[in-house]
């Protein structure tokens, strides 16, 4: 679907710009016509990914 293609495009752009991820998020926010970077992060699933990475770093 168009939605899934758009999301995949966004993830690829974000992943290709790891050294400047905040700038990539701002550019994607503009491209996707989102009102904030937080919406773009949620759209790309970054919040969930960040939480999972935090759990992976924990050792018990």
Predicted confidence (pLDDT) per residue in 5-25, tens digit: 999 999 999 989 878 888 999
d(CA 53, CA 51): 5
> Who has greater pLDDT, 50 or 10?
10
Alpha-helical regions (H) of the chain:
2-16, 21-32, 37-44, 46-57
Domain ranges of the chain: 2-57
User: What is residue 60's predicted lDDT score, i.e. its pLDDT?
Assistant: 66
> Who has greater pLDDT, 34 or 2?
34
3-state secondary structure of 24: helix
d(CA 19, CA 32): 21
d(CA 2, CA 4): 6
> Who has greater pLDDT, 51 or 36?
36
């Amino acid at each position: 679907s168009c939605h899934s293609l758009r999301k995949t495009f966004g993830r690829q752009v974000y992943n290709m710009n790891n050294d400047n991820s905040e700038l990539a998020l701002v550019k994607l926010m503009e491209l996707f016509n989102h009102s904030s970077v937080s919406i773009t992060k949620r759209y790309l699933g970054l919040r969930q990914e960040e939480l999972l990475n935090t759990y992976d770093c924990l050792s018990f």
